[in-house]
Amino acid sequence: MKLGLKSRSQRVIQDCSIVMGSRKRGENDYCCVDDENLSENYCSWSDLPPELLREVLIKIEKSESKWPLRKHVVAFAGVCKSWRELTMEVVRIPEFSGEFTFPISVKQPGPRESLLQCFIKRNPSTQTYYLNQSLTRALRDNGKFLLAARKCRRPTCTDYIISLCADDMSKGSGNYIGKLRSNFLGTKFVVYDALPPAGAKMVKSNSTRTGGTAQVSAGNYPVAHISYELNALGARGPRRMQCVMDAIPASAIKPGGVAPTQINFPISSAESFPVIPFFRTKSSHSDKTLSGPLDCQRDGSLVLGNKAPAWHEHLQCWCLNFHGRVTLASVKNFQLVVSPENGQAGPEHEKVILQFGKVGKDVYTMDYSYPLSAFQAFAICLSSFDTKIACE
């Protein structure tokens, strides 16, 4: 199964409003179609000449490169297996296209030459956060829903559960793709992926969780560590942060470098696919990944640090150039660049990899690029929302 489709028996088709007429605000943009019914009703479509199909798909891909029209590309992949395989060959990943097509796109690196523009909406009453892709150059638009997260407070830490569905943010769900966990002070965070990093071997395990009637594989694989510098003296100034991307090698940003890229979600059936091991971490126990310095974890991994702002004498505040994408001052605003190795900075260390800033009440822009994925960038930005007792 490819293209990030969740199982053999179900396929994701964009924009369920076409099928159901309308949908409530906040519902996921995907609905499911049964493969068996499709094979019975549309089996003749698989007999069309591959050359003709390829030509049609290429024209659709070029003419309908933006959402909501891009739903037709997703629908093309949902007709039958042969159409789906052809779509995989033609449709490019965000690294080269700069566009989201299938759900797995949120786990793939962003574009190399530009920032992919998104925004985050926060609902303080429900402690939920929604990541949307910007569809226009305006700082605020309806956007294309990508991911959602819910804050869960625990006695010794805080978890942010990240899901593909705005209405289903349970770890027992097939929509669960990862989480962000903080320590008690809100100074150290770990990003966990439900899937192992690309290229890692799948280890069979008896641990599963039940989501509805189907077994859903679960996992907690640390893919990034985020650290905020302590402010013991209470001095005023911007936050200082460092991100160690465990799943991305430092060589990824060098010429010819490659970042790990996930190409599909696992099949949900435990019988047809090895189950991802689930490492249980209880909030009552100390999490070793949240304690200790990050230096021992940075060997060979990409390290990001916040770009130092400049003090503006006239405005009497710290300033960064967000190129019009941020309009309001906030301690949460930041830009991340690659930290130089051995103190030697080059041109690649000036390029902004991720920027995050406030544009309205509970609305923030999030722009990111290669080698980060939307999931990784979203998790890093969620850490900025968390209360930091010792940093402010």
Ranges of each domain in the chain: 10-91, 116-385
**Gap between the terminal Cα atoms of the chain:** 47
> The domain 116-385 belongs to what CATH superfamily?
Tubby Protein; Chain A (3.20.90.10)
DSSP for residue 358: E
11: pLDDT strictly greater than 60: no
Return mean pLDDT, the chain. Answer: 76
> Where are the extended beta strands (E) located within the chain?
10-14, 30-34, 116-123, 128-133, 144-153, 158-163, 176-182, 188-193, 209-211, 214-216, 221-228, 241-249, 301-306, 310-312, 317-319, 334-338, 352-360, 363-368
**Higher-pLDDT residue of 3, 379:** 379
**Confidence check: pLDDT of 307 > 80:** yes
Q: How many CA atoms lie within 13 A of 23 on its CB side?
A: 16
The answer to whether the beta carbons of residues 135 and 144 sit under 8 Å apart is yes
Q: What's the pLDDT score for residue 249? A: 92
CA distance 9 to 231: 52
Which of 65-69, 136-140, 355-359 has the weakest average pLDDT?
136-140
> Among candidates 106, 131, 133, which has minimal Cα distance to 120?
131
Render pLDDT for 120-159 as a digit per residue (tens, 0 to 9). 999 999 999 999 999 887 777 778 999 999 999 888 889 9
Distance CA(68)–CA(99), nearest Å, equals 12
- Give the C-alpha separation, 282 to 280, whole Å: 6
- Closest alpha carbon to 119 in 360, 373, 372: 360
Nearest CA among 376, 384, 182, 184 for reference residue 289: 182
**For 7-122, where are the alpha helices, taking DSSP H only?**
17-20, 35-41, 50-63, 71-77, 81-90, 94-97
CB neighbours of residue 233 within 10 Å: 5
Reading the block at residue 329, the tokens are 């001052």
pLDDT confidence of residue 361: 92
**What is the mean predicted confidence (pLDDT) over 10-27?**
39
Give residue 185's pLDDT band: very low, low, confident or very high (50, 70, 90): confident
Q: Given pLDDT bands bounded at 50, 70 and 90, which one contains residue 165?
A: very high
Tell me: the pLDDT tens digits for 216-242? 445 789 999 999 986 544 555 667 899
Strands 310-312 and 317-319: antiparallel
Q: What pLDDT does 290 receive?
A: 62
Distance CA 150, CA 166 (A): 9
**pLDDT at residue 43 is higher than 60:** no
